[in-house]
Structure 1
Amino acid sequence: MSQTPKSWAMLHAKCPRCRRGNMFTGGMYNFGSNKIHEHCPHCDLHFEIEPGYFYAAMYVSYALNIAEAFGIVAATFLLTHNTDSPWLYTGVILAGSILLAPINFRYSRVLLLYWLSPKINYQPHLDTDDTTPYL
């Protein structure tokens, strides 16, 4: 039995307790629904620990947006060397924020559950399967 690496499980939005079950329904840029499962399909962990728990994910998403905005501004400056036009930077930041919104939605919840939830711990005995999906 091999254990699923934490980085692989986070990148693929797997359950933080068993690292096997999917946290979300559908793909990241799915035009249908992009919802989180109520329970892990593998270990039955209830993802929303308490009512309104994922409101805290808004703050994580805000931090991700700020970091992305700084990165986008730096990349725009390095590519264009334009310091005169605030509209260039405003447009690029808005476009980047809109394009990265589905990623922020998902990974703000993933980061909240993996790093900021002391009630949820990895349990290796639940990380069982005949296949190793990360190889």
Structure 2
Amino acid sequence: MKTMSLDKTAAHPGAFTSALHAKCPKCREGNMFANPMYGLKGQQMHKNCPVCDYQFEIEPGYFYVAMFVSYAMNVAEMVTFAVGTYILTGSENPWLYIGILLGVSLILSPFNFRYSRVILLYWLTPGLFYDPERVARMKKM
């Protein structure tokens, strides 16, 4: 009779899922932001990961690059909504486009702020990789 052995290794969270939930890129467990995306308390980001103590702002001014990522996201959203508006309405009235694009830009600005930083940390920072043993090492200290 065979006995079942339990695999004690836990599945590691994927990069896309962790980025979607705005988790720390180093340990993928701690939250990067203290508040919800559309909360009344604003977009407050932790200085360090609450789980592994990784410092998110690698150097002073590091998140200025996130402005360029946010700009690219905003341009992609504007083009998408402008084309979608034209396909759905067929209108060439500039005030329709100004109203829709301004509204979309305002509604998506918290999303762009948060995920421009997440994209910067997860995929645009050289040398920053997931370390599954980081939490265990931090607990031993």
Q: Same fold (TM over 0.5)?
A: yes
- Contact persistence 2:51–2:135 (CA under 8 A): no
What is the CA distance between 1:125 and its match in structure 2? 2.0
Shift of 1:124: 2.1
C-alpha separation in 2, matches of 1:106 and 1:7: 15
Hey, which bits of structure 1, 4+ residues long, moved more than 4 A?
none
Counterpart-to-counterpart distance in 2, 1:98 and 1:6: 28
CA RMSD in angstroms, aligned pairs only: 1.2
Max radius of gyration: which structure? 2
What corresponds to 1:119 in structure 2? 127
Identity of aligned residues (%): 50
Question: Contact between 1:3 and 1:127, CA under 8 Å: does it hold in 2?
Answer: no
Q: How far 1:127 moved relative to its partner?
A: 6.5
Shift of 1:77: 1.0
Q: 1:48 aligned to 2:27?
A: no
Give unmatched runs, 5+ long, in structure 1.
129-135
CA distance in 2, matches of 1:122, 1:72: 35
1:50-69 matched pairs, under 5 angstroms: 50-69=59-78
Cα-to-partner distance string for 1:36-92 (whole Å, 9 max, x where unaligned): 100001111000000010011000000000000001101111211112x11111111
Aligned to 2:103: 95
Is the Cα–Cα contact under 8 Å of residues 69 and 120 in structure 2 kept in the other structure?
A: yes
1:100 is paired with a residue whose SS is helix
| Residue identity matched to 2:56 | F
Q: CA–CA distance in 1 between the matches of 2:25 and 2:97?
A: 37
Higher RCO structure, 1 or 2 (CA under 8 Å, sep 6+)? 1
Distance in 2 (CA, whole Å) between partners of 1:65 and 1:92 is 13
